[in-house]
Amino acid sequence: MRLIEHFMLVFGPLSSVFDFITFYMLLRVFEAGEALFHTGWFIESLATQVLVVFAIRTRRPLLRSRPHFFLGSLAFGIVGLAAALPFSPVAAWLGFVGPSTLFFLYLAGAIVVYLALVEAAKLAFYKLYARQSSREISSTSG
């Protein structure tokens, strides 16, 4: 349980930082009104939280850990669906508007940076956790 607690304390704030960056980009760069803000944050948060699963599901490096085809297909399908919803007939019902191409370029870059930082944090986290675990083991066995 301590591992999970520490893991959440590292990766939760990292996710929140990217939400705040997206808030800033939507408000200041894209000059988003309520509907675009709502739409942009929905797409960004859903995409980052679905795709981060590939980084945190294993201790192995992200690019060396191949998920099952079904998991990959489902995850990318959900992200695609989220990106398509603002252009669908249900968009108005959900309060969505179609973001610009520039927003989607920002989103792609933000996702790449987010996943790279999660991967770096994961590697550092497990190195630190391994050192702490070995210290705890050696202090209890001595």
Range of lowest pLDDT (13-17, 127-131, 135-139): 135-139
pLDDT digits (tens, 9 = 90+) for 50-105: 988 888 887 777 777 788 899 899 999 999 999 999 999 999 999 999 999 999 99
> Of 111, 113, 87, whose CA–CA distance to 99 is shortest?
87
Q: Which domain holds residue 29?
A: 2-141
Q: What is the CATH number of the domain that holds 12?
A: 1.20.1110.10
pLDDT mean across residues, the chain:
87
pTM greater than 0.85 (yes/no): no
Give the Cα separation of 8 and 20 in Å (integer): 18
Q: What CA–CA distance (Å, rounded) separates 18 from 28?
A: 15
Question: Which of the two residues, 6 and 121, has the higher pLDDT score?
Answer: 121
- Give pLDDT, residue 27: 96
